[in-house]
Amino acid sequence: ALSLNDTNGFVKLVTLKEDDTLIGAQVVGTNASDVIAELGLAIEAGMNAEDIALTVHAHPTLGEMSMEAAEKVLGLPIHTM
């Protein structure tokens, strides 16, 4: 988002408390549709926050937002503002 000079928006993950399995997601901002597709697949596949955080995401891309949100669920965010 910084490289696009547009930092408006957010990614919100809804996870189960016991195992961080992803059960919902919201993405707001520039090119949100590019990010929500990955999260929809993660929900369908039964992935948890750690699975998403460990998935390789190209840098710098908006796709990293889902990784950062998953790391925040785990208490490990690096680039959140």
Question: CA–CA distance from 9 to each of 17, 39, 56, 80 (Å)?
Answer: 25, 16, 22, 12
Largest CA distance in the chain: 37
Positions annotated as catalytic residues are 59
